[in-house]
C-alpha cells in the first residue's frame, strides 16, 4: 500500500463536469479530466484492507457486490499512487478488455462494496480506472497485439456488444480466426447504439477500440442478421464453433388502452435513431423538440432518454417510476457490502433539475391509459399512484390508490421498462433449449448450449444485466470455446 494513512488524510473527490445547462447544448462527453496529483491522492485512499471486497464480483441479494470481472483494484490503486501508470494499465488489462467503456458506463458495484465505504465515502475506483486507460491511449501504450501464431480454427461470434467483443478479443488472442456478425450498420451493439454519445463517445472511444480489434485480426461483418440475411446452418458448416452474444433485446411492453397511438416508442428505438442521427449529422426521425415527454421506467435507459430528450429541446419532462423512492442512506435490510439501494441523481436527472427545477422522477406511479388527439397521436398519459402490498401468495404487487389519478400532457412517450430476453428467431433456427425466462439455456462458466459447438454468453444467456457481467461472460465463453476447439486453454 502506497500510503497507510491516505484514507485519513484525503477526502473523496470526483472530477468536475461541464455544468448541466451548458452540456445539454451538445452531444459531447461532459466529464473533465482530473490532474495526476489529485488522482494520486484518491488512489492513496485505498486501504489495502485485509479482506477486500471490491474485486470479488459476488452476487448478494441478486445484485453484484464487487467487480464482476475481478479487476485487481488494490494493485492498480497502489501503482497509480506510486506514479507507475503503465504498470497500472497492464494490471487493468489483465482482467478487463475494455476499461474505457466500464470506466464510463459501469455503475461501479466495486465502490458499493469498498471497505472504506463502511464508515466513509468509498474510493473513487471508477474514475481511477477511467484515468488509467485514457493515459494509456494518450501515451501510445495501447497498440495492436495480434497473436504470434494462428490455430487455423474459425469462430463466428454473433452480436458485437460488450460480450461479443470481449469474446472476440480473447478468442483472437488465442490464435483463432474470429468473425463477428452484427445486424446494425456499425459494430458495437449496446455500446454503439444503446448508450448516448454524451455518456460514451462513439467516434473517439468506441470506434477507437473497434479499430484496434480489427488491426489485431478480428473481422466485422455488419448489416447481416444471422437467421435472416444469413442462414444459421451455413455458419454451422463454415465455422468450427459459434458463440451467440445477441443480447436481451426484446423490450418489455405496456399493453394498456391507447398503446397503438402514434408518438409512443420503445426507448431503444428512440436512442438508436438518435445516435445514428448524431453520427450522420442529421435530424433524428423521433424528436422530443418542443414536446411534453413522459418516460416510463426509472432505470439507466430511462435516464438516457431524459438526457437525450433535454438535448432535443423538450417542452417538459416527467419520468414515471413504479417503485418507491429509495432512502438517502442504506436501509437496515441493505447492509454493506450489498449494492447500496439509495437515492441518487444521475446525469439526466441533474440536467432536468437544472432546466426544469426538479428531479423529473415521480415515484410509485404507473400509467393506466394513453389518450389520443383527433389525428391518432398521443396527447396525454393517465396515471395513478400505487401502494405495494402482498397478495394471497405473499408476493408484493402494486395496487392503485383511489383518488390519485392524474392526466399528464404528452406528445412523446418512451417505454423504458427493461427487457424480457433475447429475440427468438435465431434461437428457433438453431433449435436451442431455453430457460424458463426464454434465455438461451447454457450453464454459467461453461456456456455450452444444447447444440455441440454452439456457445452463448451475455444478456442472451443471463438476461438483462450490466456491461461488466457481459464482459465477464464473453471472456468466460471464449475460454470454454477455446477448450472445446483445442482440448486445453491458457485464456484467463
Q: What percent of the chain has pLDDT over 90?
A: 96
- Tell me which DSSP letter residue 33 carries: P
* Average per-residue pLDDT for the chain: 96
86 neighbors 136 (Cβ within 8 angstroms): yes
Do residue 234 and residue 350 come from a single domain? no
C-alpha distances out from residue 292 to 295, 298, 411, Å: 10, 17, 6
**Domain termination residue (choose one: 138, 167, 200):** 138
d(CA 305, CA 217): 36
Angle at 344 between CA 340 and CA 349, to 5 degrees: 150
Query: Which residues, 6+ apart, have CB-to-CB distance to 155 below 8 Å?
Result: 171, 176, 177, 178, 179, 239, 240, 241, 242, 243, 481, 485
Q: What is the pLDDT of residue 171?
A: 98
Do residue 233 and residue 273 come from a single domain? no
Pairing assessment for the beta strands 264-266 and 292-296 based on DSSP bridges: unpaired
Do residue 281 and residue 411 come from a single domain? yes
Banded model confidence at residue 3, pLDDT cuts 50, 70, 90: confident
Q: What percent of the chain has pLDDT over 70?
A: 100
Q: Which of 326, 284, 274 is CA-nearest to residue 305?
A: 274
Q: What is the pLDDT of residue 48?
A: 80
Do residue 381 and residue 461 come from a single domain? no
Q: What is the mean pLDDT of residues 240-245?
A: 98
Do residue 413 and residue 428 come from a single domain? no
- Tell me which DSSP letter residue 281 carries: T
Do residue 212 and residue 103 come from a single domain? no
Q: CA neighbours within 13 Å on the CB side: how many for 59?
A: 6
Burial class (CB in 10 A: 0-12, 13-18, 19+), 119: exposed
User: In this structure, what CATH number is given to the domain that contains residue 62?
Assistant: 1.10.1060.10
Q: What share of the chain is helix, strand, coil (3-state, %, to 5)?
A: 35, 20, 45
Q: What is the pLDDT of residue 51?
A: 87
Inform me whether the pLDDT recorded for 86 exceeds 70.
yes
**Three cell numbers, residue 282:** 442529421
Angle at 233 between CA 230 and CA 238, to 5 degrees: 85
Do residue 266 and residue 165 come from a single domain? no
Inform me whether the pLDDT recorded for 421 exceeds 80.
yes
Do residue 397 and residue 267 come from a single domain? yes
Q: What is the pLDDT of residue 160?
A: 98
CA torsion through residues 57, 63, 65, 66, sign: positive
Q: What is the pLDDT of residues 115-158, one digit of tens each?
A: 999 999 999 999 999 999 999 999 999 999 999 999 999 999 99
Domain annotation covers residue 257: yes
Q: What is the mean pLDDT of residues 340-348?
A: 96
Q: What is the mean pLDDT of residues 463-484?
A: 97
Domain annotation covers residue 374: yes
Do residue 271 and residue 241 come from a single domain? no
**Domain termination residue (choose one: 375, 390, 417):** 417
d(CA 467, CA 232): 26
Do residue 477 and residue 397 come from a single domain? no
Domain annotation covers residue 305: yes
Inform me whether the pLDDT recorded for 2 exceeds 80.
no
Domain annotation covers residue 143: no
Q: What is the pLDDT of residues 354-371, one digit of tens each?
A: 999 999 999 999 999 999
- Whole-structure pTM value: 0.96
DSSP 56-95: --EEETTEEES-TT---HHHHHHHHHTT-HHHHHHHHHHH
Q: What is the pLDDT of residue 1?
A: 67
Domain annotation covers residue 74: yes
Angle at 141 between CA 82 and CA 95, to 5 degrees: 75
Q: What is the mean pLDDT of residues 304-309?
A: 98
Inform me whether the pLDDT recorded for 99 exceeds 80.
yes
Q: What is the pLDDT of residues 156-209, one digit of tens each?
A: 999 999 999 999 999 999 999 999 999 999 999 999 999 999 999 999 999 999
Inform me whether the pLDDT recorded for 447 exceeds 80.
yes
User: In this structure, what CATH number is given to the domain that contains residue 375?
Assistant: 3.50.50.60
Element (H, E) at 356: helix 347-356
- Domain holding 111, by residue range, is 6-138
Q: What is the pLDDT of residue 301?
A: 96
Domain annotation covers residue 211: yes
Domain annotation covers residue 146: no
Q: What is the pLDDT of residue 62?
A: 87
Amino acid at each position: 500500500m502506497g500510503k497507510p494513512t491516505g484514507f485519513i488524510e484525503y477526502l473523496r473527490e470526483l472530477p468536475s463536469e461541464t455544468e448541466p445547462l451548458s452540456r445539454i447544448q451538445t452531444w459531447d462527453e461532459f466529464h473533465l479530466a482530473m490532474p495526476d496529483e489529485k488522482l494520486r491522492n484518491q488512489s492513496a485512499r485505498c486501504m489495502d484492507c485485509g479482506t477486500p471486497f471490491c474485486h470479488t464480483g459476488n452476487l448478494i441479494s441478486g445484485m453484484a457486490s464487487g467487480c464482476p470481472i475481478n479487476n485487481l483494484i488494490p494493485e492498480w490503486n497502489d501503482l497509480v499512487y506510486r506514479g507507475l501508470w503503465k504498470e497500472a494499465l497492464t494490471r487493468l488489462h489483465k482482467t478487463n478488455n475494455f476499461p474505457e467503456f466500464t470506466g464510463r458506463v459501469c455503475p461501479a458495484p466495486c465502490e458499493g462494496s469498498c471497505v472504506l465505504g463502511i464508515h466513509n465515502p468509498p474510493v473513487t475506483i471508477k474514475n481511477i480506472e477511467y484515468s488509467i486507460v485514457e493515459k494509456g491511449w494518450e501515451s501510445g501504450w495501447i497498440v495492436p497485439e495480434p497473436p504470434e501464431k494462428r490455430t487455423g480454427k474459425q469462430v463466428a461470434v454473433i452480436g458485437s456488444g460488450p460480450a461479443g467483443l470481449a469474446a472476440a478479443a480473447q478468442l483472437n488472442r488465442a490464435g483463432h480466426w474470429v468473425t463477428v456478425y452484427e445486424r446494425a450498420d456499425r459494430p458495437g451493439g449496446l455500446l454503439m447504439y444503446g448508450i448516448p454519445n454524451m455518456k460514451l463517445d462513439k467516434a473517439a472511444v468506441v470506434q477507437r477500440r473497434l479499430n484496434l480489434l480489427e488491426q489485431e485480426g478480428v473481422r466485422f461483418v455488419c448489416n447481416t442478421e444471422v437467421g435472416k440475411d444469413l442462414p444459421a446452418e451455413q455458419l454451422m458448416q463454415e465455422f468450427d464453433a459459434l458463440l451467440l452474444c445477441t443480447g436481451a433485446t426484446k423490450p418489455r411492453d405496456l399493453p394498456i388502452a391507447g398503446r397503438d397511438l402514434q408518438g409512443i416508442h420503445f426507448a431503444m428505438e428512440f436512442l438508436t435513431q438518435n445516435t445514428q442521427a448524431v453520427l450522420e449529422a442529421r435530424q433524428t426521425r423521433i424528436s422530443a423538440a418542443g414536446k411534453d415527454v413522459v418516460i416510463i421506467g426509472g432505470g439507466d435507459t430511462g435516464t438516457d432518454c431524459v438526457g437525450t430528450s433535454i438535448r432535443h429541446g423538450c417542452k417538459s419532462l416527467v419520468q414515471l417510476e413504479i417503485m418507491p423512492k429509495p432512502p438517502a442512506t442504506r436501509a437496515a435490510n441493505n447492509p454493506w457490502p450489498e449494492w447500496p439501494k439509495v437515492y441518487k441523481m444521475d446525469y439526466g436527472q441533474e440536467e432536468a433539475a437544472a432546466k426544469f427545477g426538479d428531479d423529473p422522477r415521480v415515484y410509485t406511479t404507473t400509467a393506466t391509459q394513453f389518450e389520443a388527439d383527433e389525428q391518432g397521436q398521443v396527447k396525454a398519459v393517465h396515471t395513478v399512484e400505487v401502494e405495494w402490498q402482498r397478495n394471497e401468495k405473499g408476493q408484493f404487487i402494486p395496487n392503485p390508490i383511489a383518488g390519485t389519478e392524474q392526466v399528464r400532457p404528452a406528445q412523446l412517450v418512451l417505454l423504458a421498462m427493461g427487457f424480457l430476453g433475447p429475440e427468438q428467431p435465431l434461437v428457433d433456427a438453431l433449435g436451442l433449449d431455453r430457460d424458463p425466462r426464454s434465455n438461451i439455456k447454457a450453464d454459467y462458466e461453461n456456456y455450452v448450449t444444447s447444440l455441440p459447438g454452439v456457445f452463448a454468453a451475455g444478456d442472451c444467456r443471463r438476461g438483462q444485466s450490466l456491461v461488466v457481467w457481459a464482459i465477464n461472460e464473453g471472456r468466460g465463453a471464449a475460454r470454454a470455446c477455446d477448450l472445446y476447439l483445442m482440448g486445453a486453454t491458457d485464456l484467463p
